[in-house]
Structure 1
Amino acid sequence: MPASVISVRDLGVRFRRNRRGRRSFKDLFAGKNRRSRPGEFWALRGVSFEVEAGEAIGVVGRNGQGKSTLLKLVAGVLLPDEGTVSVRDGVAPLIEITGGFVNDLTVRDNVYLTAGLHGMPKREIDRRFDDIIGFAEIDDFVDTPYKHLSSGMKVRIAFSVISQLEEPIILVDEVLAVGDKGFKEKCYRRIDEMLEGGRTLFFVSHNERDLRRFCSRGLYLDKGKLVLDAAIDEVLDRYNDDYNR
C-alpha cells in the first residue's frame, strides 16, 4: 500500500473573534482546557484523512468553513491546537500567492529572494531565471520595482516562481481565479505537467470545472468538520445539494 505523504489526525484549530476571552500565555503552553473560551471558535475540529503520493485532492465548502485554514496547516504556516498534521515531503505553496514579495525591490531581486526562501540554490535560480520571466511574460519589467506592476503581473510572476519549485506536493488556494484567460490556460497546462510528473495536488477552489479537471478525490468541509471524503463528483454533488437546500 502506498505510503501517505499527508497524514491528518483529529485536527483542530481555534481562533478569536475579538480580544475578549483570548487565551493567556500560560494556556498556550499548558495544553489544557480544550473547550472554547468566550470569543473563540473552532475553525476546524476532529478532521482526519490521508493523502497518498500522486493523488489530486480538491477541498470544497462555503466561505468560512475552514478550507484555507486547512491548507495553511498542511503548509506549516499555522500550528494546530489539537491533533497532528504530518507532511512527509516538501511543499510548493500557491497560497496568498503574492505574499512575501517586497514592493521596493525589483522583479529580478524578488525572484531571487522568493525562490531562495523556498530553498532553491542561487545557481538553480540563475539557470531558471529566463524561464521564470518568460512564463510570466514580463520581460520588459525585470528591473522595475515590484510595486509598479499591475495586480495581474504580480500574480503572473508569483505563480511563475512558485511553479518552478520541484517540491513533490503542490498546495493551491484559489490562485487560478485571478488573471486573464490566456494566462489561466498557461497555469492549467503547468499544473497538468506537474500532475503528469507524479506530484501530489491539494487544491482549494470554488470553481467546479477546475476541481473536476484536476482532482479525482474531494474533501467537503462544513462548519469546520469533514462532512465527506469521496470521489470528487460525489463530493461536488453532495455540496451542491446542501447548498441549494
Structure 2
Amino acid sequence: MIEISNVSMCYKVQRENIKSLKEYVVNVIKGKVTYDEFCALDNININIGKGEVCGIIGSNGAGKSTLLKLIAGVLAPTTGEISVKGTIAPMLELGAGFDQDLTARENIYLNGAILGYSKEFLDSKYNSIVDFSELHSFMEQPIRTFSSGMMMRLAFSIATIIEPEILIVDEILSVGDAHFAEKSSKRMKELMSGGTTVIMVSHVLQQIEDICDRVIWLENGKIVLEGESMEVCNAYRSKL
C-alpha cells in the first residue's frame, strides 16, 4: 500500500536572527543571509502492506510527524519517491482543517469536504458523526470555544465515519479522557479488522504495543530499528 524509497526531507534554516521583513530584504540585498541545512528525514526506506498496523516511535524531533505528512501528501520529499495506493484519512494535527470561527456543525461539512466527502454523504452520516463524538449539546458552538479533547472527538468522528484504505494517526488518540480513548481504540480495531492499513505515531508505548503489528523507531531522521512491536518498544525503553 505504501512504498517509501530513498526519501529525505531537508529544510534550510536561517542562521541570522532577523526580526522583520525589512531587515530580511536589506540583508538579502547585501548578501548577508546564510542558511544551514537540516534534514528531518535522511534516506528512509519503508514498505507497509495492506492491512498492516505500523507504529512510529522516537523522541521529539526524530522525524515522525514529517514522515506522516509525506505519506499523506501534505509535504513533498526533497529527494526520493513515495508511492501510496488507496484512499487516505489523515489525522495529522488536532483541528487541522477546522475554521475556529465556524460552528462544530459547519466544521463537519468543511473538514469532510477536505477529506473528499460529498455534502450528500455528510448529510447521511451527520447524526452518526455527532453520536460518536458525543457533542450533541455543542454543535452550534464555534470551534474556538472547544477544549482540545472536544476537538479531537470531532476530528476523529469525521475521519473514521467511513472505512478508509489508509488511516494516518498522529498522537490524536493520546488526547482526551479515558472513556473516549477506549472508544477510539475500539473503532481503530474495527477499522483494522476490516483491512484498513494504519500508520500511527504515539509516545504512549503501551498503546503502540496493544494496537500495532510492526514498529519503526526513528531518531535524528534515521531508522534505528524496525520489527515486531514488543521487541522494538522494549529496545526503545532501554534507551530512555
- TM-score (structure 1 length as normaliser): 0.87
Kept in 2: contact 1:120–1:165 (CA 8 A): no
Unaligned 5+ runs, structure 2: 17-33
Deviation at 1:42, TM superposition (A): 0.7
Matching residue within 5, 8, 11 for 1:12: 8
**Quick one: which amino acid aligns to residue 39 of structure 2?**
W
Matching residue within 68, 79, 84 for 2:81: 84
Percent identical among aligned pairs is 39
Kept in 2: contact 1:74–1:87 (CA 8 A): yes
Does residue 168 of structure 2 align to residue 176 of structure 1?
Answer: no
Q: How many correspondences in the alignment?
A: 223
Kept in 2: contact 1:92–1:165 (CA 8 A): no
Deviation at 1:165, TM superposition (A): 3.7
| Cα distance in structure 1, aligned partners of 2:160 and 2:223 | 29
Kept in 1: contact 2:97–2:110 (CA 8 A): no
**Quick one: which amino acid aligns to residue 149 of structure 2?**
G
| Cα distance in structure 2, aligned partners of 1:67 and 1:150 | 25
Please give the secondary structure, in 2, of the residue aligned with 1:17: strand
Deviation at 1:19, TM superposition (A): 5.7
Give runs of ≥4 in structure 1 deviating > 3 Å.
none
| Cα distance in structure 2, aligned partners of 1:161 and 1:118 | 9
| Cα distance in structure 2, aligned partners of 1:61 and 1:189 | 25
Does residue 116 of structure 2 align to residue 110 of structure 1?
Answer: no
| Cα distance in structure 1, aligned partners of 2:221 and 2:149 | 32
Counting only pairs closer than 5 Å after superposition, residues 184-199 of structure 1 correspond to structure 2 as 184-199=181-196
| Cα distance in structure 1, aligned partners of 2:111 and 2:8 | 30
**Quick one: which amino acid aligns to residue 100 of structure 2?**
N
Kept in 1: contact 2:15–2:35 (CA 8 A): no
Deviation at 1:93, TM superposition (A): 0.6
Deviations 1:68-121 (A, max 9, x none): 110110011111001111111111111103111111111111101111121111
Counting only pairs closer than 5 Å after superposition, residues 1-245 of structure 1 correspond to structure 2 as 5-18=1-14, 38-243=35-240
**Quick one: which amino acid aligns to residue 84 of structure 2?**
V
Please give the secondary structure, in 1, of the residue aligned with 2:81: strand
Please give the secondary structure, in 2, of the residue aligned with 1:96: coil
| Cα distance in structure 1, aligned partners of 2:216 and 2:147 | 34
| Cα distance in structure 1, aligned partners of 2:161 and 2:188 | 11
Deviations 1:35-72 (A, max 9, x none): xx842211101110111100010111111110111011
1:148–1:232 Cα change, 3 Å? same
Unaligned 5+ runs, structure 1: 21-36
**Quick one: which amino acid aligns to residue 6 of structure 1?**
I
- TM-score (structure 2 length as normaliser): 0.89
**Quick one: which amino acid aligns to residue 208 of structure 2?**
L
| Cα distance in structure 2, aligned partners of 1:67 and 1:165 | 25
- Cα RMSD, aligned residues only: 1.4
**Quick one: which amino acid aligns to residue 41 of structure 2?**
L
Deviation at 1:17, TM superposition (A): 3.0
Please give the secondary structure, in 1, of the residue aligned with 2:14: coil
**Quick one: which amino acid aligns to residue 15 of structure 1?**
Y
